Structure 1
Amino acid sequence: MTEELILTAYDPEFDFRSLPKVSLHDHLDGGLRPATIVELAAEVGHELPTTDPVALGEWFRASADSGSLERYLETFDHTLAVMQTREALIRVAREFVQDLADDGVIYGEVRWAPEQHLSRGLSLDDVVEAVQQGLTEGVEAVKETGRPIQVGQLITAMRHADRGVEIAELALRHRSRGVVGFDIAGAEAGFPPARLKEAFDLLAQNMFPTTVHAGEAAGLDSIVDAIVTGRAQRLGHGVRIAEDIEIEFGGTDDDGQDVDEDTGLVTLGPVANWVRDRGIALEICPSSNLQTGATAEFGEGIESHPIDLLYQTGFTVTISPDNRLMSGTTLSDEFELLVEAFDYDLDDLLEFTLNAAEAAFLPLEERELLVEYINDAYAELGDEDDEEYEDGEDQD
């Protein structure tokens, strides 16, 4: 009888949607259905590149696949344009939850910037309440099908704007009504977290959790500022922490023994040590990182992504899709991509998922229940594998 979970090697027939998942880095305005965009655009008179849903989805993916974060962010002009009314926000949020559930997500945090949804007269509180209504409707619809799901809002402030305190106050007003955390997003280079120091101070004074986009379009200084100024408990992407890791092949180890030339000695710098040793979770979004060029200095293609280095050296790695529309992906797709590239098995995917569950902005008791549910679900997969193995032996 095998003690390993199934999927010990890449299996194109395996349904990754069957795995329970936790999604921590998932943008509301980056997860719309193309058909919904077409319908909402017609209602408000917004011109799209095409009104064919399939072609529109392809346009988003092609436009985002530029290797530039700035170009990637331009694609949001169209999604934001159709998310300016209460009805539209409710619909988009409801469908967002349903799509998460269809992908096997049992807990998700949806991040979005309320300040970007005010062009048709809604207030900041109006838009947060509309999104929460949509999320609640989506959760109820999913539960009616017998599937569990829980979703919380991450209120995001745009780092290039000057509304940090106002958005922080908004998040605090809604903290007991669906909002679980705070984030800053937008163009990272040139707009450090220190610009929003007053907002982060306010959140810290009120014991409110933060995650900060850092280590994506900017390097170690951005990560340090996210930790020091932003008091970040998680890093949005954070992949460029790998710039503070050195690998030396050959040489001698700490005991003076010769090291094989194919074996690398890994040395962590002070920033990498701090992030790893304190378990600051990295919200890694592999496909998005390739699209925006966040990992370009490490090489081309998923095989050069530093995620495996970070995972093997003990960082708290979590996996998320970032923007499912722009990247043409789901969390299941991200899992499959990593399994194919790095020969991960279900034990590895379980660890990524448990890391995410333990890093979720939930009370301890709820995180423990989430971890228990995930472990039980994976254990059932192992039991099914054992039964299949035994059946095969009997037939032999």
Structure 2
Amino acid sequence: MSHEPTLDRIRRAPKVLLHDHLDGGLRPRTVVELAEQAGYGALPETEPDALADWFASAADSGSLERYLETFTHTVGVMQSRGALLRVAAECAEDLADDGVVYAEVRFAPEQHLEGGLGLDQVVQAVLDGFEEGARRARERGREIRVGCLLTAMRHAARSREIAELAVRYRTSGVAGFDIAGAEAGHPPTRHLDAFEFLRRENAHFTIHAGEAFGLPSIWEALQWCGADRLGHGVRIVDDIEPDPDGGYRLGRLASYVRDKRIPLEMCPSSNVQTGAAPSIAEHPIGLLRRLRFRVTVNTDNRLQGRTSLSEEFARLVSAFGYDWDDLQWFTVNAMKSAFLPFDERLALINGRIKPGFAELKWAAGGAVR
């Protein structure tokens, strides 16, 4: 009998998720019910299964801009404390049920003010929701820790305000800061004030870069803004060329990213949907893993991608033939790159991740390392 990492077995593995959007992970039934409660009448479908189909097809367009349009409806129903708390709690439960032991989930507080909430109230509602979801999961024997990343929008002008919010709540469950939205025409350098503030405060932050836009976006995120991690970063392959000997020649930026062990928050299925990669089998993650960049595997938007972290791993196993050692390597990379204190990262790696994978490899009859 084959003991390769099948989807069912992967779900049992202790996994780490660094790039997941709260407003991209709602349950379809929750979207429908929250819309009814709020009087939100703009949903394209009002039956959960049909709505799930609509989200997937609308997102599967090959265009990042079209992909981002799907968030109009999820954000539209997340405008009250009750809605935010429910969505966050269900997020934590769903991730725990998928075997995720640590997650950083991001959202943009400035997009949830239409119902009269203030920024602090929005953040507190989400943090309370994560805590409630983790409690429910614990009652079912599933342990998960969820950190929150506060996102500012590239096209808006509230990044400094959101950065200050992230610092204010960093002892209450906010792990760091992020900036997101369409890359083209909205360089991260527009928000240097926010990044300078975060660096002065010794705060962690990641930047969406190198997804729809190329190497200049990655360079600016690192050299002008000082990002700790790169959200996506797939276009770093544009600085890698085959050499005549069958190997690869890295340009200066790609060498810098690899040498500095800068984490890449890769989201394979999402990148295929938005056109950043032609297919899973042709995704740059295969090359970047071979070249030993600090690659991590993520979901991005579970609703739009009809995915989970286990499903992302299973697709990579199918495309690249990865085994349990590969999946553990991705997972340890992610835990090393988390916005947690070093001793807490180490405790999760040695106390949960390595023992969990060792058990799966033992059951598969493989060597345990």
TM interval, shorter chain, is over 0.9
Q: Distance in 2 between matches of 1:351 and 1:213?
A: 23
1:317 equivalent among 295, 299, 302: 295
Asked if 1:270 is matched to 2:252, the reply is yes
Pairing of 1:252-331 with structure 2 (within 5 A): 259=245, 264-295=246-277, 300-331=278-309
Query: Partner of 1:40 in structure 2?
Result: 34
Paired letter, 2:145: Q
TM superposition shift of 1:228: 1.7
Q: Distance in 2 between matches of 1:230 and 1:88?
A: 34
Query: Partner of 1:96 in structure 2?
Result: 91
Query: Could you give the per-residue CA deviations for residues 85-137 of structure 1, whole angstroms, max 9, x where no partner exists?
Result: 00000000000000001111000001000000001110000000000110010
Paired letter, 1:160: H
Query: Partner of 1:127 in structure 2?
Result: 122
TM superposition shift of 1:383: 2.2
2:358 equivalent among 357, 379, 383: 379
TM superposition shift of 1:327: 0.6
Identity of aligned pairs, percent? Answer: 57
TM superposition shift of 1:301: 1.8
TM-score, scaled relative to structure 1: 0.90
Paired letter, 2:237: A
Query: Partner of 2:193 in structure 1?
Result: 198
Query: Could you give the per-residue CA deviations for residues 298-327 of structure 1, whole angstroms, max 9, x where no partner exists?
Result: xx3211111111110110000000000001
Pairing of 1:225-264 with structure 2 (within 5 A): 225-248=220-243, 251=244, 259=245, 264=246
Q: Distance in 1 between matches of 2:9 and 2:61?
A: 30
Q: Distance in 1 between matches of 2:82 and 2:6?
A: 42
Query: Could you give the per-residue CA deviations for residues 357-383 of structure 1, whole angstroms, max 9, x where no partner exists?
Result: 000000001000111110011111222
CA contact (8 A) 2:84 2:126 kept: yes
1:172 equivalent among 163, 167, 171: 167
Paired letter, 2:115: R
Q: Distance in 1 between matches of 2:18 and 2:139?
A: 24
TM-score, scaled relative to structure 2: 0.96
Q: Distance in 2 between matches of 1:224 and 1:134?
A: 36
Query: Partner of 1:361 in structure 2?
Result: 339
- Counting matched residue pairs gives 363
Q: Distance in 1 between matches of 2:223 and 2:151?
A: 18
Name structure 2 gaps, 5 residues minimum.
none
CA contact (8 A) 1:26 1:323 kept: yes
CA contact (8 A) 1:210 1:230 kept: no
Q: Distance in 2 between matches of 1:365 and 1:6?
A: 33
Query: Could you give the per-residue CA deviations for residues 137-191 of structure 1, whole angstroms, max 9, x where no partner exists?
Result: 0111111112211000000000110111111111111111110110000111111
Query: Partner of 1:343 in structure 2?
Result: 321
Q: For 1:294, what is the secondary structure of its paired residue?
A: coil
* Superposed CA RMSD: 1.3
CA contact (8 A) 1:28 1:110 kept: yes
Q: For 1:303, what is the secondary structure of its paired residue?
A: coil
Q: Distance in 2 between matches of 1:203 and 1:386?
A: 47
TM superposition shift of 1:6: 4.3
When Rg is computed on C-alpha atoms for both structures, the one with the higher figure is 1
TM superposition shift of 1:11: 4.6
Pairing of 1:15-34 with structure 2 (within 5 A): 15-34=9-28
CA contact (8 A) 2:15 2:99 kept: yes
Q: For 2:247, what is the secondary structure of its paired residue?
A: strand
CA contact (8 A) 2:324 2:361 kept: no
TM superposition shift of 1:230: 2.3
Q: Distance in 1 between matches of 2:111 and 2:102?
A: 25
TM superposition shift of 1:385: 2.6
Name structure 1 gaps, 5 residues minimum.
252-258, 388-396
Q: For 2:146, what is the secondary structure of its paired residue?
A: strand
